[in-house]
Chains A and B, each alone.
Chain A
């Protein structure tokens, strides 16, 4: 499968996430769009990993080229899980203080 297709799919997914962060005002949906962007990057990393492995695979079927990228994806997932737990705690705190999850209410931070 050409690598361009995977890059194209990841770029479109990432941009949908960017548009979501820019247009929606619900803090939870903004957070989900960030997860969408992280997953687009993960997909691209795995595709590039298989691209490098495929180049080595022709000459040496037992090569381990490309393993590092998949471990990067693993660490990205780990960091995303930690980030979600803290972020949702912040959203719960925001809801408890303002009774809304609209991020426009956060402009009171500037005072």
Chain B
């Protein structure tokens, strides 16, 4: 087994373990910390696929900014000791069965897909993931979507302030 294969299986196992622990943890703070582990594992997969720009952006945006925002909100609400009441066991069982059936169907479709069985993803080679190539395409072919994105951010910023601002609650 080469180092790449070992790294692939290690990162996959880490991502799956982290995703399971996000579900299982009773304390929301631990869920956030396990989700950061998942993001680090996925960034490792991006590095393995030589998508270095996406790996760094994933770390900065997701693990750096979004997860800090989640932690901040959890601490602000003082939720870290508040576990949700354990009722509706049938709802949990039904949800698990529904998600498991979905996974079985997708894996069955994948096993039947003869087209995909010979394809491989290029590992550790190819330079399309480098920031030079991505930036050239982004600012030439995708300039309009990029600019629209800034408008989206502005509207999200204004929306977050308007929603979160302490005003007169309408039904109190």
Chain A residues in the interface with B (C-beta under 8 A):
1-9, 11-20, 22-26, 28-29, 31-33, 35-36, 39, 42-43, 46-51, 53-55, 57, 64-68, 70-71, 73-75, 77-86, 88-93, 95-97, 101-102
Contact = CB atoms under 8 A, between A and B. Distances in A.
A89 B137 CA distance: 34
SS of A interface (majority): helix
A11 B110 CA distance: 10
B96 A23 contact: yes
Contact of A16 (B23, B166, B171): B23
A50 B54 contact: no
Nearest to B20: A16
A84 B64 CA distance: 13
A66 B128 CA distance: 7
Contacts of B156: 82-83, 85-86
B16 A12 contact: yes
- B interface residue count range (under 10 / 10 to 19 / 20 to 34 / 35 or more): 35 or more
SS of B interface (majority): helix
A35 B18 CA distance: 13
Given A50-B121, A86-B156, A93 B110 contact: no
Interface in B53-108: 53-54, 57-58, 61-62, 65-66, 69-70, 73-74, 76-77, 79, 84-85, 88, 91-92, 94-96, 98-100, 102-103, 106-107
> Most A CB atoms within 10 A — which of B23, B35, B155, B171?
B23
Contact of A32 (B22, B142, B160): B22
Contacts of A49: 51, 128
Interface in B90-136: 91-92, 94-96, 98-100, 102-103, 106-107, 110, 116-117, 119-123, 125-126, 128-129, 133-134
